[in-house]
Chains A and B, each alone.
Chain A
């Protein structure tokens, strides 16, 4: 008999799969990353036996891969099964190698309060395999680990307190302002001239006191908020809808207009009116974000209110950072040339690129 001397030391990652579930109303969207090594161990992918798995070898077995995976995963909403529907095969890499990405969705009979997940993939072939699952339901993210000892877990959704839901919606709104750089650009382009007064003969002079500058900022921000709240609500309630390509292109165009106006006057002197008109367009954009994140149908009004508050807080942060800086430096050549003209031209240029990209669905950079 051959003796084993040294004991095994683990220096590779054991087998894991990564399953992400996004609950959107009664629909559950899924992405499942499964290591090619594990798939090969289970059903044999290396057709020509050369030790290398090619894309063709994987794609040719898509039906078997899908059958294996979805034979070992079941979702149920409040006790009723949510049938899984494969939606395609992609690949990606994790720190320990290549993974197949199985996209799928599941249709529950109704929006689930409790989502049951039953996971049994590879447990018969490798009891050390773990299913690492992340569930996102728009109100929060939860993580869970599935093992042979823990094959079925239930995720309660109704436990979410309205206050926490409101908090989550507010956070979402704030995040959106800082992540959605197009809204920021628009706001900055409108605010840049607030500490200046347009001279009758052309050119700008600094405002004499803080008060008129603040009044101008307040009018603009309020008009923008009012406008985007109206369209966000109408569109979230599905009363009014616009195609997203049109909305996104329109937002980009609005940024160009607002920025160019600082250099060559094209809008009326009342910038708050422009903020209102173009703000209507931005509201549709906010609503698209909210929809993408899977809005819980319950307490829709609460979520809408929270999101609006969040957007407002985000804007106030921008204003709070911008106004003092702008006011202090308003008399300088630097502010009027580099800040106002230079900044506006940069914003106009970048937004112009977005406009072309979004309108013609191409990638320029």
Chain B
């Protein structure tokens, strides 16, 4: 019998079969982690809420009570909606935007709502990336009430996000007569900073901030984080870091400034410091993205749990039909999943809607990773036309052009 002459192939066959069998037996599908359960401990804390000890929260509760008694009281509704929108910005939480919309419900669908309602409706619409609807609202306001500074300001910001810089700058001009000088300068110079005049814009904002000592903390913080972003784009990283720290000292909760600061740290390779700053902010998708990118760079333990959590958030967002996270998701897919084609697809879809420097950067970086300079052509053309100064974007663009 040929039993002794064991053929190597046969052994490999048999061993593979046995391994598969044992593997299938051992790794039975286990129960899902999120399976519903009935807690056994009454005192188990299920969820933490934005604390009701927060003074703004108290004010909200008060306003909601007043509005519940008289839902068509415009003054109360506007007050509550403004507070909700501001809270939504501070916490980067869209739930408050929906509640602001609910407060404005009696006026929301009217053919011609009051101008103040239109301004807030525009703010909510732009957050949902309905830029055209938002601009239509604001155009009505500025023709009805040309002395409404919020309308001009919001209009300028939206036009700037769309990359329509000439119109954005024009929308700042009426502010000269309506608001303190520093606010006008911020609006006007921040457009210059994106269109080839960054150094001059930086000096103007810095000077204006120095001369307006009475400016509120909000204005100062806005100015400082604006300066920081300009400095970062110019490659003056130390200045930028210092300015971000000053801005965050005024308002440590500002998720926008924190995200921008962490981006700078990631660019400089200070991944550990970046991770530390956002380690306990995983409730915020944008900050969770930074944490994931930082942990990805350092190979930290526990990183994969954060990757899964973020992927689940993007999946949940897709399930409800949202497309507002494409810029961030493209960075995630590019930096962590390393799927350049998919990242390019997301970044290109995002670029069709919004055109801030980071939208351009993600678009070009994805095209570079996918070795597809042709796909990046609209982005490169925009870079040339706008004269945007950004050392990191310029470097990516140069690599892309070298590919051609």
Contact = CB atoms under 8 A, between A and B. Distances in A.
Interface in A180-196: 181, 184-185, 188
B47 to A, nearest CB: 4
Interface stretch (A35-43, A163-171, A226-234, A273-281): A35-43
Contact of B89 (A6, A13, A96, A331): A6
Contacts of B10: 328-329, 331-332, 334-335
A51 B284 CA distance: 18
A325 B2 CA distance: 17
A53 B46 contact: yes
Contacts of A360: none
B46 A9 contact: no
B92 A9 contact: yes
A328 B7 CA distance: 10
B25 A55 contact: no
Interface string B248-261: 00000001100000
Interface in A144-164: 145
Contact of B43 (A7, A56, A127): A56
Interface string B18-59: 100110110011000011111101111111111111000000
B91 interface: yes
B316 A95 contact: yes
Nearest to A51: B51
Contacts of B88: 8
Interface string A1-17: 11111111111111110
A52 B45 contact: yes
A52 B48 contact: yes
Contacts of A343: 18, 21
A46 interface: yes
A5 B218 contact: yes
Interface stretch (A85-93, A264-272, A285-293, A300-308): A85-93
Interface string A321-351: 0100110110111110011001100110010
A3 B286 CA distance: 24
Contacts of A5: 153, 186, 218-219, 222
A94 B34 contact: yes
A352 to B, nearest CB: 12
Given A12-B283, A92-B37, A145-B320, A328 B13 contact: yes
A127 B92 CA distance: 18
B296 interface: no
Contacts of B28: 181
A130 to B, nearest CB: 5
Max count, chain B CB within 10 A of own CB: residue among A91, A127, A326: A127
B316 A96 contact: yes
A58 interface: yes
B150 interface: yes
A127 B102 contact: yes
B185 interface: no
A329 B316 contact: no
Given A46-B52, A338-B18, A346-B25, A4 B92 contact: no
B99 A90 contact: no
A222 interface: no
Contact of A347 (B25, B43, B158, B183): B25
A326 B34 CA distance: 41
Contact of A10 (B2, B45, B94, B149): B94
B317 A15 contact: no
A317 B50 CA distance: 55
A98 B255 contact: no
Contact of A4 (B6, B22, B85): B85
A350 B88 CA distance: 54
Interface in B84-135: 85-86, 88-89, 91-95, 97-99, 101-102, 105, 108, 123, 126-128
Given A8-B127, A12-B94, A125 B99 contact: yes
A188 B17 CA distance: 11
B102 A126 contact: yes
Contact of B98 (A4, A14, A333): A14
B46 to A, nearest CB: 4
A129 interface: yes
B285 interface: yes
Interface string B322-349: 1011000000000000000000000000
Interface string A25-54: 000000100001110110000100101111
B150 A3 contact: yes
B350 interface: no
Nearest to B49: A51
Nearest to A36: B47
A125 B68 CA distance: 11
Contacts of B48: 51-53
Contacts of B18: 338-339, 342-343
B313 interface: yes
Max count, chain B CB within 10 A of own CB: residue among A128, A333, A350: A128
Nearest to A338: B18
A209 to B, nearest CB: 14
Nearest to B52: A49
Contacts of B52: 46, 49, 51
A231 B165 CA distance: 75
A206 B1 CA distance: 10
A187 to B, nearest CB: 12
Contacts of A11: 92-93, 255, 284-287
B34 A325 contact: no
A125 B127 contact: no
Nearest to B284: A11
Given A1-B149, A4-B89, A15-B98, 13 more contacts: A4-B82, A4-B154, A5-B186, A7-B154, A12-B91, A46-B49, A55-B44, A94-B34, A124-B102, A124-B105, A326-B17, A329-B13, A347-B25
The 4 closest A-B pairs by CB, nearest first: A128-B98, A126-B98, A11-B92, A95-B312
Interface of B: 1-3, 6-7, 9-11, 13-15, 17-18, 21-22, 24-25, 28-29, 34-39, 41-53, 82, 85-86, 88-89, 91-95, 97-99, 101-102, 105, 108, 123, 126-128, 149-150, 153-154, 157-158, 161, 179, 183, 186, 216, 218-219, 222, 255-256, 283-287, 309, 312-313, 315-317, 319-322, 324-325
